[in-house]
Structure 1
Amino acid sequence: MSGATHSPRPARRPTDATADDATRLDSATSKSVRSRSLRLLGDLLRPRARSLAWAGVLVVLATLGQVAGPWLVSLAIDDAVPALMDGDASTLALVGSAYLVAAVAGGLCAGAYVRAAARIAQSVLLDLRRRVFRHTQLLSLEFHESYTSGRIISRQTSDLEALRELLDGGLTGVVSSLMLMIFTGLTLFLMDWRSGLVLAAALVPAWLLTRWFQKHSQVFYREQRTTSARLIVKFVETMTGMRAVQAFRREPTTEAEYDRLGEEYRDANLRIFSVNGRYQPGLVLIGNVAVAAALAVGGWRVYSGALDVGVLVAALLYVKRFFQPIQQLGMFYNSLQSAVAALEKVSGLLAEEPTVVEPRRPTPLPQARGALHLADVTFRYGDGPVILPDLDLAIPAGQTVALVGTTGAGKSTVAKLVTRFYDATQGRVLLDGVDVRDLSTTDLRRAVVMVTQEAYLFSGSVRENIALGRPGAPQEDIEAAARAVGAHDFIMAMPDGYDTEVNKRGGRVSAGQRQLLSFARAFLADPAVLVLDEATSSLDLPGERLVQRGLQTLLADRTAIIIAHRLSTVDIADRVLVMEHGRVIEDGAPADLAAGDGRYAALYAAWRDSLV
């Protein structure tokens, strides 16, 4: 089927599965996704173990500097001030100096920790961005034909941005907050265990409130990530297909759809803010009540002589400080939920496996001749219907073969198998007697090149776009390739010649010129097999004639497969194969088939009538 694509199969469940079975399945899937995400995080952090250990030392030292403050205040009140009243100022000076040293050391260690954590975070993000980009390029065409570009962009933008926010600020904050809570609680219990019990009692409602917050925010953050991705996908698809949108006057419809998705994204954010609006004030209330309780209990004990004033002051400071990190942990949990959802999506993308895999022990083919043989090939897209039923086709080296037929006949599928964008479901595709599945990607891409209808030009100069066929080619080879296909003259007429910048998709050149540049790229690559998939279908007649001259040179002395609806392109072929429902129903020279009474003769007559 020409240009056929397929979508991933939806997961199917047994029809007799109970609700409990479905729940267990969902739970198992969730655990599997979580485990996959944690493995990815572990892979990213493992090479940075030493840096993480150093950051851990710094955060411990910074926390000790902060926790020492209230204890030193209690010493100053209970010991240094009475000694000063007795005329001894050395104790106060010693305690004051210790307080200053602890504050300075804590601040310096905190700053060093933030910098060290930032370096780790940025290193992890850079590694992850590279992995996503590299892995996406390695995935097979089957993936890219089913996984929309908007979703991939969402992985590289909003999902990685959520991870950046977590690693840059949230992670550093939560580690220091946890350390501060642990050291504060331990110090308070060591100083006065009764005040520690007051703090422990206050932890119960704080824990319950935090669990409520976690339960609700987890759901809402997943909704936010999903609606964000849908919004990005809609925007990317609309911008990419703007010509179709404007040509069919779909602006109101697309705007309404975008507004609906934007409202869903807004509502998801509002639900998150609503939960936060309950959680943070609740923590503040619990903290204030805890301070009041500690003051009441401690004040009575001071009045009765069971507790020193300095210890009471330190206890109040510790209780107050203890609840400040809990609020930070709540804010961190917001970032964590968003980042976990993002990490699950990114790990899911990285878990995608190529359907076309590199052979473990490739057969070398340094100099291909170009002989092709599709030996008893059967092909279907996924679990879809059979597209090519038992096709056996041999193409000698150096022969130009044209594939014609109606849309869906299987022409482009043959091209995808020859170029190994897909693998045959059954049978083998042989190049010079070697199964293409046994060839390295380097050898196969050097031997077989496809030129498509789109003739994609990347942002950059004309020279860079032609050199894509052979990176590092000298200027004389690039110019020779352009001259060979008839592109040199119009290139030299451009403002900067070969250094002229082309816009995205080749906006500075016409469709015919863009196609000639893609031919020059293919000529420079000098493949043994050239596949032209509808390479002239978008051109007008003058543009087609321009390209035809380039084709004559391009196809010389190499095997070529031409897929075309326009039979003018077919005239230069040595052999025509008429396909229907994945089978070859006619095979012969163009003139012989045109003179007959078969399917090609009817197509040829119809084409001739259309010219008149």
Structure 2
Amino acid sequence: MTTLSGADPGASAPVDTAPEDTWRGVATEELSESELSGLGSEVGARMRARSRRLLRSLLRPQRRRVVLAAVLVVVSELAFLAGPLIVAYAIDTAVPALARGDGRPLVLSTIGYLAAGVLNAVTKAGFVRVSARAAQAVLLDLRGRVFDHSQALSLSFHERYTSGRVISRMTSDLDTLNELTSEGLDGLISGVLTVLGISVTLLVLDLPLGLIALASFLPIALLTRWFQRRSRSIYRRTRTAIAALIVQFTETMNGLRAVLSFRREQRNLEIFRRSNAENCEANGDGLVVLAHYAPSVRMVGNLSLAAVMVVGAVQVVHGSVEIGVLAAFLLYVRRMYDPLDELAMFYNAYQSAGAALEKLSGLLEEVPSVPEPTDPVPAPELRGRVTFEAVEFGYHPSVPVLPRLDLEIQAGQTVAVVGATGAGKSTLAKLVARFYDPTAGRVLLDGIAVDRLAGADLRRAVVMVTQESFLFSGSVADNIALGRPSATRAEIEHAADAIGAGPFIRQLPDGFDTDVRKRGGRLSAGQRQLVAFARAFLADPAVLILDEATASLDIPSERAVQQALRTVLRGRTAVIIAHRLSTVSIADRVLVMDHGRVTEDGSPAELVRGTGAYARLHDAWRDSLV
């Protein structure tokens, strides 16, 4: 099944996510923090578990690098921790020995201190290099997963989940994770190891002083817990706010012609300013919370250092602690609380990245509503017989679009489907192309249910051309070959000539090599449609669906295309959805639909001679020509 143009909205709104499933996937994107809280702590726990699963799957291929990085950082921290012990040895042993005329202990302590510094620098540089490669490999994998999974999701998902939000996942959320891994990972691991290593060393050096120094961890733990709760809520807001901002910007730029035509600039600016203000407020709240947390941690550390200094000085006076040990103790305490500032900044970035990971994991756990069959039926050479067996469908459970449809279209038959807007014409076409699955009944292609056919087989068999033909940036030839990339240049040009597009293409600056630019903007609407027809002709499907495909053509172009369509449609099944009855004239059979039901079925000539809806439509169309 190949889509040759942009998405075509159905007759009704897409189905909403069921309330009981709102914690799953990206449905939480639409919920405020208060609504998430109202769903219970279980929802938050599931979202965090989902994020952890994603993180484990990303890190698994990087196990060797992670282990090597861990070894390097441990060696680096051991070298770092050796410094104060060497200083204590120099004060308590080397200096007295030097006073006695023995300089060897001082030389050894000096060499040892320098060696520890060099070892710390070398291993830290190695850690940064290895961890950076692992982090970039993880982000490379994650970007690929998001892009691949977004393409694989069903049309119903993309009609519900705007392209701006997908862009936000690929840009803002991934950038947040990139900042965390590139700037904070080193600080986190070295900081944690420093705090743990120094804590053990302090307790070994002097248990009472060590307990006094470590007593500050209790208020720090309480502060961290408060910061965690506040920042998690805030950063979920920031991810939602930036997504809304990107959505508004994307929709405005994509619809700029409509914006300029209807002078909507001021209204869009007001909406953007409101979204921008919400984003600014959310980020500002995050900075305020951080401004309370980081200085509070620093204050607790300074109070702890002062307490250790006073108690240690008293112990030195009483002779229970040597002055070198106290100096080492104070150096260790100072070194222990310095990383806490880095850990506070990392924790701030981690909370933001955690919210981004929740959004990304939600997107990646979305399940296609039109899944690939687990045991596909081998497809023979499909001829194109289409059958609807008791098919029922609705975009929303309470609003049926097709109450019940039984229909058979013979292979090679050209069928036109007409009716008022919302009658279910496009829905019928989407079910044949399996953009959606029916809620009841079956759609069959040559007697095989379409949901049993492998996606590749169905894409080869069914091609849809819609009114808004989508062209990708690149040459005209590349766009025609989209349906069959292996086609030769001669085959591409033959397809264009068969559909009547060859003459205008050869008049372009570079002929078939002309770059059509973004969305085919270098071509007119009619020219884009002719390229889409050439694309469909080259793909050579068993079933061709034309959904208002000639609506953007002028009368001369439409007549040329109708003549070319007789060649294109020969030997294949065609479903033509049209409001212009001139397009219907090439059909073997006409179906008139009303509220999801076929009310008239016959050849164009038979229905014109009748007194039904098609005859009235034909009379009205003929009068409009006069």
Q: Normalising by structure 2, what TM-score?
A: 0.94
2:382 maps to what in 1? Answer: 368
Whole-Å separation in 1 of the counterparts to 2:464 and 2:454: 17
Helix, strand or coil at the partner of 1:386: coil
1:184 is displaced (CA, Å) by: 1.1
1:16 maps to what in 2? Answer: none
2:292 maps to what in 1? Answer: 278
2:13 maps to what in 1? Answer: 5
Check whether the contact 1:177–1:326 (CA below 8 A) recurs between aligned residues. yes
1:567 is displaced (CA, Å) by: 0.7
Whole-Å separation in 2 of the counterparts to 1:272 and 1:361: 50
Q: Give yes or no for the alignment of 1:189 onto 2:197.
A: no
Helix, strand or coil at the partner of 2:519: coil
Check whether the contact 1:138–1:354 (CA below 8 A) recurs between aligned residues. yes
Check whether the contact 2:36–2:43 (CA below 8 A) recurs between aligned residues. no
1:127 is displaced (CA, Å) by: 0.9
Q: Give yes or no for the alignment of 1:593 onto 2:613.
A: no
1:171 is displaced (CA, Å) by: 2.5
Check whether the contact 1:485–1:520 (CA below 8 A) recurs between aligned residues. yes
- Which amino acid in structure 2 is aligned with residue 304 of structure 1? H
1:302 maps to what in 2? Answer: 316
- Which amino acid in structure 2 is aligned with residue 308 of structure 1? E
**What per-residue deviation string (whole Å, max 9, x for no partner) do you get for residues 122-152 of structure 1?**
1111111111111111111111111111111
Q: Give yes or no for the alignment of 1:432 onto 2:468.
A: no
Check whether the contact 2:416–2:589 (CA below 8 A) recurs between aligned residues. yes
5 Å-filtered alignment, 1:297-336, equals 297-336=311-350
Helix, strand or coil at the partner of 1:377: strand
- Which amino acid in structure 2 is aligned with residue 500 of structure 1? T
2:399 maps to what in 1? Answer: 385
Whole-Å separation in 1 of the counterparts to 2:409 and 2:279: 55
Q: Give yes or no for the alignment of 1:520 onto 2:516.
A: no
Whole-Å separation in 1 of the counterparts to 2:43 and 2:292: 31
Whole-Å separation in 2 of the counterparts to 1:515 and 1:29: 47
CA separation of 1:2/1:264 partners in 2, compared to 1, >3 Å: closer, same or farther? closer
Helix, strand or coil at the partner of 1:58: helix
Which structure 1 segments of 5+ residues have no match?
Answer: 14-20
**What per-residue deviation string (whole Å, max 9, x for no partner) do you get for residues 363-409 of structure 1?**
12241111111122111224132211221111111111000000111
CA separation of 1:107/1:22 partners in 2, compared to 1, >3 Å: closer, same or farther? closer
1:75 maps to what in 2? Answer: 89
Q: Give yes or no for the alignment of 1:235 onto 2:249.
A: yes
1:600 is displaced (CA, Å) by: 0.5
Q: Give yes or no for the alignment of 1:491 onto 2:505.
A: yes
Check whether the contact 2:13–2:396 (CA below 8 A) recurs between aligned residues. no
5 Å-filtered alignment, 1:145-184, equals 145-184=159-198
**What per-residue deviation string (whole Å, max 9, x for no partner) do you get for residues 476-532 of structure 1?**
111111111111111111111111111111111111110110111111110011000
5 Å-filtered alignment, 1:347-366, equals 347-366=361-380
Deviation beyond 3 Å, 4+ runs, structure 1 = 1-5, 21-25
- Which amino acid in structure 2 is aligned with residue 202 of structure 1? S
5 Å-filtered alignment, 1:44-83, equals 44-83=58-97
Helix, strand or coil at the partner of 1:501: coil
- Which amino acid in structure 1 is aligned with residue 166 of structure 2? I
Which structure 2 segments of 5+ residues have no match?
Answer: 1-8, 22-34
* Greater RCO (CA < 8 Å, at least 6 residues apart): 2
2:571 pairs with 535, 539, 557, which one? 557
**What per-residue deviation string (whole Å, max 9, x for no partner) do you get for residues 3-34 of structure 1?**
43314145169xxxxxxx99784212111111
Check whether the contact 1:515–1:547 (CA below 8 A) recurs between aligned residues. no
1:445 is displaced (CA, Å) by: 0.6
Q: What RMSD, in angstroms, separates the aligned Cα atoms of the two structures?
A: 1.7
Whole-Å separation in 2 of the counterparts to 1:204 and 1:373: 71
1:85 pairs with 90, 99, 102, which one? 99
Whole-Å separation in 2 of the counterparts to 1:383 and 1:3: 14
Q: Give yes or no for the alignment of 1:287 onto 2:301.
A: yes
1:544 is displaced (CA, Å) by: 2.4
Q: Normalising by structure 1, what TM-score?
A: 0.96
Helix, strand or coil at the partner of 2:546: strand
Helix, strand or coil at the partner of 2:377: coil
5 Å-filtered alignment, 1:23-38, equals 25-38=39-52
Instruction: Indicate the percent of aligned positions where both proteins have the same amino acid.
Output: 55
Whole-Å separation in 2 of the counterparts to 1:442 and 1:212: 52
**What per-residue deviation string (whole Å, max 9, x for no partner) do you get for residues 274-313 of structure 1?**
1122222222222222222222111222222222221111
Helix, strand or coil at the partner of 1:87: coil
1:201 is displaced (CA, Å) by: 2.1
**What per-residue deviation string (whole Å, max 9, x for no partner) do you get for residues 79-126 of structure 1?**
111111212111111111111111111111111111111111111111
Check whether the contact 2:393–2:403 (CA below 8 A) recurs between aligned residues. yes
1:420 maps to what in 2? Answer: 434
Whole-Å separation in 2 of the counterparts to 1:548 and 1:4: 30
Higher deviation after alignment, 569-578 or 162-171:
162-171
Whole-Å separation in 2 of the counterparts to 1:269 and 1:311: 45
1:132 maps to what in 2? Answer: 146
Helix, strand or coil at the partner of 1:345: helix
Q: How many residues align?
A: 605
- Which amino acid in structure 1 is aligned with residue 269 of structure 2? E
- Which amino acid in structure 1 is aligned with residue 136 of structure 2? Q
